[in-house]
Amino acid sequence: MVKDRLNFFTRCYSSHAKAFAFVAGGSLLCAGLGLLSPMLIRQVMDELLPHGISQEMILTAGALLAIYAASYWLNYKVEVVGRGMGAKIEFTMRKKLFRHLLRMGYSFYDNAQSGQLLSRLVNDISEVGQLMFAIPHLFVTCSITLLGSTALLFWLNWQLALIVTTLLLFKVVATIKLNGDMKRTFMRARENTGDLSGQIAESLQGIRLVKIFSCEDRELDKMLRAGENLLSVQENSFRNVGKLHGGVDFFSNVLNLVIIVVGGALITFGLMTISDLVAFLLYMMLCMRPVFQLMMLTEVYQRGMAGVERYRELMDLPESSERSADRVTNLDGAQSIEFSHVSFGYENNPPLFRDFNLSIAAGEHVGIVGMTGGGKTTLCELLMGMYDLDGGTISIDGRDIKTVRTDSLRREIGMIQQDTFLFSASIRDNIAYGREDATDAEIVEAARLAEAHEFICDLPNGYDTFVGERGVKLSGGQKQRIAIARMFLRNPKILILDEATSALDNETERQIQRAMQKLSENRTTITVAHRLATVRNSNRILVLEHGNITEEGSHENLMARRGVYYNLSTNAAA
């Protein structure tokens, strides 16, 4: 564990060696300058003050002022450089973690909570950034100040110093015990903060549904439960922090009392001078300062290490192999599709597909219908490499998709879903998503083909209209046409339409159907639909039930059989 942590910190600091050296060196000088002041004050009281104001006394006072000015400048530079270093390390960690999350497999997000991921990306790594500055700064400052002032305390009066250091040892033992409790409470607080963030994010994302069903009180109750769990952990954490800080204050006051009482006795017996007692008190204050700082460092360390561990938990998860360098990066040919003995089931669920077989010819238009839960959408996601198969293969033009980099695979497969997602950006940016090099002319042409150009031009800012979060400023049909325009621009060789027109009114659906017909030309097309009119003109229609193809044929043939498809069609018409 210790070795792993040392390796982690070494990797973080290695890219900022100059800043680290400056912070450590500057902290060392600041601590050294701090140790000079009490000795000069002792000299003034012991040797110079009894003789009145003199040139030597003025020079000594000037030297003290110079020390204070140098300490101020050094502390300022150390803070600026050190906190900058911590911020850069924080930025690098956040970049690595976000890139790692983007490379995680599709199944990871089936179980991940967005609030927890957000908390780790933002809050946890912020704590780590503070720790990265505190370690070289406070550790060096505290070590030098503590060791130096302790040595000088013994030099001034070893009897009094022995009493004081004995008391300090008892305080250190108590702090170490408290340290373990703080670590556990900070880790729990991080987890509960993520739960609270996730709950709030989910409620706000579904705010329209909440309003529709008047469930504001229910969402408030869920937030309050998560908040109360966090508050309970925080209260334990605050008690530990209170013990830490309050204990330091109490201990400092007790030490001062001991020094005054014992020091007074030593002066009475001629074993100590008043100037030595003043210097001893000043060095004791210096000695206590790093104790305070070490208490703060302990708190920062425990918070930071809780963040480090949660960061590493995610970083240690294996990335998807979909971008592996030994996979090919292109797909050529007419794009025929072959599912061969495919087996698949979601984690902790029974298999959905067992020994599933399906061949789709290049350029063929295939419709897939069936009841909810039959595997229609899953089949399309397997084709796009979203999940790893439990068995069998999926091939495009005879090439197993496992041998193709998934980013290359998905460039050749376009999928339009019922739940259209738009980013908080302009219409232009949303259409061009996935084709950043697209020209304005290409974007407009794609919108025309999707029959979206007319309504876009009617908007106040046209293609520069901001659509709001998840496209909230557009209607369902408008969002769907933006998504279709995005696919025209993408120009894939294989097209998947997963309930792509189910959210549209009849007139808009007719417009989209015309656009879809143009989009499907010379492409292998798979259409998943509940509304059977969408697949009526497909070359072949499949009825999928519980992971099995129970019927297939043209619309006319299936209607003539009077089977499942006929019943679905009849029920839809009714």
- Reference 335, options 252, 411, 273; nearest CA is 411
- Same domain assignment for residues 273 and 215: yes
**What is the predicted pLDDT for the residue at 417?**
79
Q: What is the mean pLDDT of residues 392-419?
A: 84
**What is the predicted pLDDT for the residue at 4?**
75
User: pLDDT, tens digit, for every residue of 139-157?
Assistant: 788 778 778 878 887 887 8
290 vs 395 pLDDT, higher one: 395
Strand arrangement, sheet containing 399-400: 353-360, 337-344, 391-396, 399-400
- Same domain assignment for residues 132 and 271: yes
The CB density around residue 310, as the number of other CB atoms within 10 Å, is: 23
User: Is 100 a residue whose pLDDT tops 90?
Assistant: no
**What is the predicted pLDDT for the residue at 394?**
92
User: Is 80 a residue whose pLDDT tops 80?
Assistant: yes
In a domain, 324, yes or no: no
Please tell me the distance from the alpha carbon of residue 526 to that of residue 539, in angstroms, as a whole number: 10
Please tell me the distance from the alpha carbon of residue 89 to that of residue 126, in angstroms, as a whole number: 10
- Same domain assignment for residues 352 and 489: yes
Instruction: Grade residue 53 by pLDDT with cuts at 50, 70 and 90.
Output: low
User: pLDDT, tens digit, for every residue of 35-47?
Assistant: 777 777 766 666 6
- Same domain assignment for residues 270 and 408: no
Q: Please state the domain count of the chain.
A: 2
- Same domain assignment for residues 469 and 549: yes
Q: What is the mean pLDDT of residues 192-200?
A: 76
- Reference 112, options 194, 190, 55, 54; nearest CA is 194
- Same domain assignment for residues 53 and 18: yes
CA distances from 358 to 9, 324, 379, 399, 547 (A): 53, 27, 10, 15, 12
Q: Where are the alpha helices (DSSP H) in 103-157?
A: 108-111, 114-119, 125-156
**What is the predicted pLDDT for the residue at 355?**
92
**What is the predicted pLDDT for the residue at 572?**
57
- Same domain assignment for residues 347 and 309: no
Instruction: Grade residue 356 by pLDDT with cuts at 50, 70 and 90.
Output: very high
Please tell me the distance from the alpha carbon of residue 546 to that of residue 206, in angstroms, as a whole number: 30
**What is the predicted pLDDT for the residue at 292?**
66
Instruction: Grade residue 120 by pLDDT with cuts at 50, 70 and 90.
Output: confident
User: Is 130 a residue whose pLDDT tops 70?
Assistant: yes
In a domain, 517, yes or no: yes
- Same domain assignment for residues 315 and 347: no
Helix, strand and coil content of the chain, in percent to the nearest 5, comes to: 70, 10, 20
**What is the predicted pLDDT for the residue at 358?**
93
Sequence-distant (≥ 6) Cβ neighbours of residue 250 within 8 angstroms: none
Q: Collapsing DSSP states into helix, strand and coil, what is residue 365?
A: strand
User: Is 325 a residue whose pLDDT tops 60?
Assistant: no
Instruction: Grade residue 211 by pLDDT with cuts at 50, 70 and 90.
Output: low
CA distances from 265 to 157, 256, 259 (A): 13, 14, 10
In a domain, 509, yes or no: yes
Please tell me the distance from the alpha carbon of residue 553 to that of residue 555, in angstroms, as a whole number: 7
| Least confidently predicted of 166-175, 370-379, 483-492 | 166-175
**What is the predicted pLDDT for the residue at 245?**
67
Instruction: Grade residue 65 by pLDDT with cuts at 50, 70 and 90.
Output: confident
Instruction: Grade residue 54 by pLDDT with cuts at 50, 70 and 90.
Output: low
**What is the predicted pLDDT for the residue at 342?**
93
User: pLDDT, tens digit, for every residue of 553-567?
Assistant: 988 898 888 888 888
Average pLDDT over the chain reads: 79
- Same domain assignment for residues 379 and 351: yes
DSSP string spanning 216-277?
A: HHHHHHHHHHHHHHHHHHHHHHHHHHHHHHHHHHHHHHHHHHHHHHHHHHHHHTTSS-HHHH
Sequence-distant (≥ 6) Cβ neighbours of residue 312 within 8 angstroms: 8
User: Is 212 a residue whose pLDDT tops 60?
Assistant: no
Q: Do residues 35 and 286 touch, judged by C-beta distance below 8 A?
A: yes
User: Is 339 a residue whose pLDDT tops 90?
Assistant: yes
Domain ends where: 319, 346, 365?
319
**What is the predicted pLDDT for the residue at 360?**
92
- Identity of residue 214: S
DSSP string spanning 486-526?
A: HHHHH--SEEEEESTTTTS-HHHHHHHHHHHHHHHTTSEEE
Q: Do residues 279 and 42 touch, judged by C-beta distance below 8 A?
A: yes
- Same domain assignment for residues 189 and 126: yes
- Same domain assignment for residues 367 and 288: no
In a domain, 179, yes or no: yes
Q: What is the mean pLDDT of residues 468-495?
A: 81
| Least confidently predicted of 294-298, 334-338, 366-370, 566-570 | 294-298
Q: Do residues 435 and 393 touch, judged by C-beta distance below 8 A?
A: no
In a domain, 331, yes or no: no
**What is the predicted pLDDT for the residue at 329?**
62
Domain ends where: 265, 289, 319?
319
Please tell me the distance from the alpha carbon of residue 275 to that of residue 43, in angstroms, as a whole number: 8
Instruction: Grade residue 49 by pLDDT with cuts at 50, 70 and 90.
Output: low
Q: What is the mean pLDDT of residues 195-205?
A: 73
User: Is 98 a residue whose pLDDT tops 80?
Assistant: yes
User: Is 52 a residue whose pLDDT tops 60?
Assistant: no
Q: Do residues 408 and 328 touch, judged by C-beta distance below 8 A?
A: yes
- Reference 420, options 323, 498, 365; nearest CA is 498
112 vs 315 pLDDT, higher one: 315
User: Is 540 a residue whose pLDDT tops 90?
Assistant: yes
At 96, which CATH number? Answer: 1.20.1560.10
Angle at 174 between CA 172 and CA 176, to 5 degrees: 70
Instruction: Grade residue 324 by pLDDT with cuts at 50, 70 and 90.
Output: low
Domain ends where: 319, 351, 385?
319
Q: Do residues 537 and 514 touch, judged by C-beta distance below 8 A?
A: no
- Identity of residue 272: M
Please tell me the distance from the alpha carbon of residue 490 to that of residue 161, in angstroms, as a whole number: 77
Instruction: Grade residue 466 by pLDDT with cuts at 50, 70 and 90.
Output: confident
| Least confidently predicted of 124-128, 217-221, 385-389 | 217-221
In a domain, 68, yes or no: yes
User: Is 504 a residue whose pLDDT tops 70?
Assistant: no
DSSP string spanning 319-357?
A: PPGGG-TTSB----SS--EEEEEEEE--TTS--SEEEEE
CA distances from 307 to 101, 223, 382 (A): 16, 23, 35
Q: Using a pLDDT cut of 70, give the percent of the chain over it.
A: 84
- Same domain assignment for residues 310 and 346: no
At 504, which CATH number? Answer: 3.40.50.300
Containing structural domain, residue 54: 2-319
Q: Collapsing DSSP states into helix, strand and coil, what is residue 528?
A: strand
Name the region of 414 (left: φ>0; alpha: ψ -120 to 50; beta: rest). Answer: beta
In a domain, 329, yes or no: no
In a domain, 326, yes or no: no
